[in-house]
Structure 1
Amino acid sequence: MWREECPKAVSTETNLSETSRNRVLSVAYWRFFVNALLILCDMASFIVASAIIYVWQGREALYSSRFHFHIGLWLYALACSLIWIYCLHSVGVYHRHVMGDGYQLNAILVKGTFFTGLMICAIDSILNVYIPLVHTGLVLLCAFLITMLERLTIRQFVLSSREKGAYSYGTVVVGSPEGIEHALAFLSQKRQLNHHAIAVCPIGLNKRTGLVEAVAAPADFKERIRKISGRDISMLPYCRNFAERATSMGAQTVMVTDVMQRFSDNFNTFVLNMETMNLEIAVVTSAVDVSGHETNIRVIQGTTVMTISLPQYSPWDMCKKRVFDVLVSLFAVTVTAIVTVPIAIAIKLTDGGPIFYTQTRVGRRDKPFKMIKFRSMVVNADKMKAELAKETGQDGRFIIQNEGRSASHQGRQVYP
């Protein structure tokens, strides 16, 4: 699939990891504060709506006839505003790809308002607090309208900031030159999309090999994308270390426009390579489809864009996985000690050799690591394998087994 090696974008793996970490942290930083601002504004919207309706009705306090205590009106409004926030979060109002949307956000707000009404009615029933249903409905309607106005104001600020590259994700657009131009025109017209193109990568399909490879862009390609986007955009070659190069440029998302077909080995390999660098994949669904990942689908003025999230490699999920791995490993080592300790002693007593066997394996990002396991082969089995292959004229592809016993090779068998 990969045809060439790009020039090194960073000097060492440490620098690359630092760049990737800084990119993730910078995005998490502004997302946290923007969402915190939105949550506070949404809570204020609900409290204001409650004050308007309940003050208009002349209410000062509520009484729980089941538990026999009075509930302050402001305390009740605050509790309901927390329910409001929880329901909005549950339906996806605070999702990172919804923040700048208009129609989709309003549709989700309607769903969140409905669920909030159900939860508030349930709590009123549990406490046995008498509030006319029409009053609760008016509060929800007022909260919905105020939140819409509040989000409209914030949206205008976010969209104007996105023109400068703020509150958006650095995106590398990958596809044919024609597909790239179409995607850039789409991104430049739909400001509600939070993708800011920082580089383009022209690719094509080699009909002879069936592999995706870099292609030479037309002579006037740079001029055309400058005219479409209103600025210069860097060219990123398609190569083995493409993900590392994209990360070093500050990319958060890779947008695939065409060329790579759905369920193809080319696309699967591409996704796995992007996943290793925590890069999100945005796909124009008319060109490609995927399965097995968490997806977010948006319809923007007749064009459908599907974003593929890779939550198993998000910072929070990586932290949880690491804690889980360490705790479960410590527990497993302790519990299985009753079996592993006798095995270790038996291996040592058998031939006096080392208990463990280490071998180099290839892990994440093609980084080698040392695998440690109980030794089940003879000592120096790797050396014996090479000698046996040389004697028999083979290329070394044979199996070493430890089943059965014989007088040769210290009681272990070696099979070509």
Structure 2
Amino acid sequence: MTTAFERQLLGTRRPLATPSVQISAPPAQTTARVSAAVAPTSNATLENRHRWERAYRWRLRLTDTAVVIGSTGVAAWIQIAAIAQVHLADAPWQYGRVFVLTAAVWLLFLALFQTRSPRVIGQGIEYRRVLHATGMAFGVAAIAFVIMQSQGIRTQLLIALPLGTAAILATRWTSRRWLQRQRVAGHFVSRALVVGNRYDVEYVIDSLQTDGLHAYKVVGVILDQPHTEIMVDGQRYVSVGSVDDVATHAASLGADSVILASIPEGDRGYIKRLTWQLEGAAAELSLSSPLVDVAGPRMSLRPVEGLPLIQVEIPTFEGGRHLAKRAFDIAVASIALVFVAIVTPFVALAIKLESKGPVFFVQPRVGRDGETFPMLKFRSMHVDAENMLHTVAELNEGSGPLFKLKRDPRVTRVGTFLRKFSIDELPQFANVLLGDMSIVGPRPPLPRETSLYENDTYRRLYIRPGITGPWQISGRSHLSWEESVRLDLRYVENWSVTGDMLILLKTVGTVFKAEGAY
């Protein structure tokens, strides 16, 4: 610290003389910056999208960590408690080490398999990645502990693996339901600009609206013919500009995603130019594929000398996958029939108390390869319902070959309840065990319905019909005939055992909601 006297001396000190040297300013061309060489930066809309994606990933990361530490910790605690009476001094350290390493490997593989990637958020592939990552993590951990001759991995396999896997899938399912509610409210959603010709843009918007995931909100369209408009489900969309200026319009509309429904005719370089335009303005460019209703697992990208070829696996209707499906059917049907045997006396009593006649209703249905089989149901109509069909035929509310009547006078009061919660379908597990049906599959048609099929519709009969299926979880009787056929054909070509399990889980919720059942 300087004193007042020192400050006075410093204040009166003269500055040193500086040499008279003239420093010239650098040429203008050395300080100018070429604007075309500056890398694009993110705009506010793109940053907002990245922000909510990071927030959701952190939510998943926290729940995954809690489940992994909790399940592996429980397994280690049980092991330590079981051998506490042996008084092994190094037991807590030994099993504690196994707990820490198992949890670390598990969390590492969940990250390596990109189970929290924005590309899988809210999609079925998320569950598959979690299962693959978990299986690989415990396989690697088991091999490592066997090589090191370390104790404690067996308890982790028997307790932590099933407990943690079920818990992670449950928390992921809960998170997806939460995300969907947020998206319905307008949060955590991608704002999309759809570009292309009129027909393809209409198809994309209609598909996004019926998707049910609410992942995209269409904020605008750009059609190949300027100053035109389209109408989709009563909503009017006006083209906001030209296909050559997509990035500018995406920024003005606050769109973080661009969906290219179709490219301008004869312009092969359009997609490349569009990706360059969207740098810093959008998070993703999605291309609508002409391969309608072909599931992702059947498609793979194979670049050949700069030519990106999309390979599509041709569906097969026999072989190992179908044997696995049959084994799954037998296992589930065997367990379900135990429950059916318990409830049958009560259902039979209710049916008998209201109307005379048999408890079960046997109806011919068309199964795989067009073969007819007798399908079992609990009787939900009066005994002479088939003879009364001509009296209500003109009241048909169904579409296509289907006959549906919301308030069918032939249905009994007990039958209305049985149909509402699909209890009348329970005896069909016997059909599954006999091999006539599958747990999951297309709806089993009546012979008179198949006589009205068009050529493509017959593909529904390439596999066994199911007790439940995509039609069951997508609206049931509310679906149009065309939509029902489309869902069934998509299932026939793209089914998987994992997909069947997901349909079963969704069926439970659909049955309890009792929507579209009559």
TM-score of the two chains, using structure 2 as the length reference:
0.44
1:186 counterpart letter in structure 2? S
Deviations 1:265-285 (A, max 9, x none): 233333332236344211122
Of structures 1 and 2, the one scoring higher in RCO (CA 8 A, sep 6+) is 1
Report the counterpart of residue 360 of structure 2 in structure 1.
none
Q: Do 2:75 and 2:155's aligned partners in 1 also have CA atoms closer than 8 Å?
A: no
2:163 counterpart letter in structure 1? C
Q: Do 1:171 and 1:255's aligned partners in 2 also have CA atoms closer than 8 Å?
A: yes
- Structure 2 CA distance for partners of 1:245 and 1:60, relative to 1, 3 Å: farther
Shift of 1:287: 6.7
- Structure 2 CA distance for partners of 1:30 and 1:267, relative to 1, 3 Å: closer
Question: Aligned-residue CA RMSD in angstroms?
Answer: 4.0
Report the counterpart of residue 82 of structure 1 in structure 2.
104
Q: Do 1:262 and 1:290's aligned partners in 2 also have CA atoms closer than 8 Å?
A: no
Q: Do 2:192 and 2:258's aligned partners in 1 also have CA atoms closer than 8 Å?
A: yes
Report the counterpart of residue 149 of structure 1 in structure 2.
170
Report the counterpart of residue 267 of structure 1 in structure 2.
271
Q: Do 2:302 and 2:308's aligned partners in 1 also have CA atoms closer than 8 Å?
A: no
1:133-172 to structure 2, matched below 5 A, reads 133=154, 135-172=156-193
Report the counterpart of residue 254 of structure 2 in structure 1.
250
**Counterparts of 1:58 and 1:141 in 2: how far apart (Å)?**
19
Report the counterpart of residue 223 of structure 2 in structure 1.
202
Report the counterpart of residue 225 of structure 1 in structure 2.
232
Report the counterpart of residue 145 of structure 2 in structure 1.
124
**Counterparts of 1:202 and 1:282 in 2: how far apart (Å)?**
16
Q: Do 1:260 and 1:267's aligned partners in 2 also have CA atoms closer than 8 Å?
A: no
2:49 counterpart letter in structure 1? V
Find out whether 1:29 has 2:36 as its counterpart: no
Shift of 1:132: 4.9
**Counterparts of 2:78 and 2:261 in 1: how far apart (Å)?**
54
**Counterparts of 1:61 and 1:284 in 2: how far apart (Å)?**
60
Deviations 1:349-369 (A, max 9, x none): xxxxxxxxxxxxxxxxxxxxx
Shift of 1:261: 7.0
Q: Do 2:76 and 2:155's aligned partners in 1 also have CA atoms closer than 8 Å?
A: no
Find out whether 1:189 has 2:196 as its counterpart: no
SS of equivalent to 1:197: strand
Find out whether 1:241 has 2:252 as its counterpart: no
Report the counterpart of residue 68 of structure 2 in structure 1.
46
Match of 1:178 among 199, 205, 211: 199
SS of equivalent to 2:93: strand
1:264 counterpart letter in structure 2? R
Report the counterpart of residue 396 of structure 1 in structure 2.
none
**Counterparts of 1:294 and 1:192 in 2: how far apart (Å)?**
29
2:284 counterpart letter in structure 1? E
Count the aligned residue pairs. Answer: 264
**Counterparts of 1:191 and 1:296 in 2: how far apart (Å)?**
27
Report the counterpart of residue 114 of structure 2 in structure 1.
92
Runs of 4+ more than 3 Å apart: 17-20, 51-62, 72-79, 125-128, 132-135, 231-235, 259-263, 275-279, 287-297, 300-304
Q: Do 1:46 and 1:143's aligned partners in 2 also have CA atoms closer than 8 Å?
A: yes
Q: Do 1:197 and 1:233's aligned partners in 2 also have CA atoms closer than 8 Å?
A: no
Shift of 1:243: 0.4
- Structure 2 CA distance for partners of 1:46 and 1:27, relative to 1, 3 Å: same
Gaps of 5+ in 2: 1-34, 85-89, 293-300, 312-469, 471-486, 494-518
- Structure 2 CA distance for partners of 1:196 and 1:135, relative to 1, 3 Å: same
Larger Rg: 2
SS of equivalent to 2:166: helix
Report the counterpart of residue 135 of structure 2 in structure 1.
114
Gaps of 5+ in 1: 1-12, 63-67, 204-213, 305-416
Shift of 1:45: 1.3
- Structure 2 CA distance for partners of 1:84 and 1:196, relative to 1, 3 Å: farther
**Counterparts of 2:137 and 2:309 in 1: how far apart (Å)?**
25
Report the counterpart of residue 209 of structure 1 in structure 2.
none
SS of equivalent to 2:186: coil
Report the counterpart of residue 286 of structure 1 in structure 2.
290
Shift of 1:259: 4.0
SS of equivalent to 1:237: coil
- Structure 2 CA distance for partners of 1:25 and 1:275, relative to 1, 3 Å: closer
Shift of 1:130: 1.0
Shift of 1:127: 4.8
Shift of 1:146: 0.6
Deviations 1:147-186 (A, max 9, x none): 1111111111101111233112211111222211211121
Q: Do 1:259 and 1:287's aligned partners in 2 also have CA atoms closer than 8 Å?
A: no
Q: Do 1:172 and 1:197's aligned partners in 2 also have CA atoms closer than 8 Å?
A: yes
The structure in which a higher percent of residues are strand is: 1
Report the counterpart of residue 104 of structure 1 in structure 2.
125
2:246 counterpart letter in structure 1? F
Q: Percent identity?
A: 14
Report the counterpart of residue 330 of structure 1 in structure 2.
none
Report the counterpart of residue 431 of structure 2 in structure 1.
none
2:257 counterpart letter in structure 1? T
2:160 counterpart letter in structure 1? V
Deviations 1:9-36 (A, max 9, x none): xxxx9xxx99943223222222222111
